[in-house]
Amino acid sequence: MEWSIQDIARKAGTTSRTLRHYGDLGLLAPSRVGSNGYRYYDQEALVRLQRILLLRELGLGLPAIAEVLDGQRDTSGALRTHLALLEQERERIGRQIASVRTTLRKTEEGEELMAEEVFDGFDHTQYEQEVTERWGRDAYEKGDRWWRSLSAGEKKAFQDKQIRIGEDFARALKEGKDVAGDEVQDIVRRQVEWLSVTVTPSSSYVIGLGEMYVADPRFTATYDRNGEGTAVFVRDAMKVYAERHLTD
């Protein structure tokens, strides 16, 4: 079975131009090229593309991805590694969500905040060995320096900013705003800026994160507590923004 470049681009949430670029770099060769010049991809190519997109979301540049793919001939083993990393990231983000939710509730109810609750999930040191082994000591130290440079107030402000963004999304949905409209897209811009503190968001990253907001019950519950359907609203708005302003 094989798929055209248009089919693969649509299903992967990317563009034909991006796939051709990957091909030009030697990252993703088509399984065949038709007499009409169209590129077609088989199952093996699909798996390779999935690995490329996963590595992009982990923050690797295309030259680094090429090195990883060349060094990992065992596809199953590589996918198991990716899966483990994604599950770790989901667990960390889940803890951040729970932390922000607790901060919001206690702030609204006038309860005393506990430092371990406020900053749960924001500790980068637990990934020190993994980040250092995969991307070098500089990559770890950059993120670690950023987090440690913040005061307790700045760390709380970082969380508060995300709370306000979530509330603004819910308000826009309630008011019937268009996901593609300027007002909602400006909220997405703030969301992407918030994400940019620790990652460099690509189009596929932002679209994939939006999908996770709907697919993962923990994300959905966090957004929908401010308005039913907010998670879907956020996902759709993020997709519009990514397609307009970001690249892979």
* CA 127 – CA 58 distance, rounded (Å): 13
Residue-level pLDDT at 198: 65
Where residue 161 falls among pLDDT bands split at 50, 70, 90? confident
Beta bridge partners of 33: 39
The CATH number assigned to the domain holding 57 equals: 1.10.1660.10
Region 29-34: mean pLDDT is 92
89 and 66 part of one domain: no
What domain range is 183 assigned to?
151-248
The total number of structural domains in the chain stands at 3
Phi, psi of 47 (to 5 degrees): -65, -40
Region 166-188: mean pLDDT is 94
Beta bridge partners of 3: 41
Q: Flag whether pLDDT at 172 surpasses 90.
A: yes
98 and 60 part of one domain: no
61 and 87 part of one domain: no
**Cα-only R_g, the chain:** 20
162 and 237 part of one domain: yes
Q: Which residue has the higher pLDDT, 125 or 69?
A: 69
Cα of first residue to Cα of last residue in the chain, in angstroms, is 26
Q: Which residue has the higher pLDDT, 4 or 156?
A: 4
Q: Which of 24-38, 110-124, 185-199, 202-216 has the lowest mean pLDDT?
A: 110-124
Residue ending a domain, among 116, 149, 182, is 149
In b/e form, how buried is each residue of 136-173, taking b as 16+ CB within 10 angstroms? eeeebeebbeebeeeeeeeebebbeebbebbebbbebb
Residue ending a domain, among 127, 149, 171, is 149
Region 85-113: mean pLDDT is 71
232 and 164 part of one domain: yes
202 and 160 part of one domain: yes
Residue ending a domain, among 30, 52, 71, is 71
Q: pTM of the prediction?
A: 0.46
Task: Provide the 10 A C-beta neighbour count for residue 69.
Answer: 18
- 107 touches 113 (CB < 8 A): yes
Owner of token pair 């997709």: 239
Q: Which of 65-79, 105-119, 209-223 has the lowest mean pLDDT?
A: 105-119
The CATH number assigned to the domain holding 242 equals: 1.10.490.50
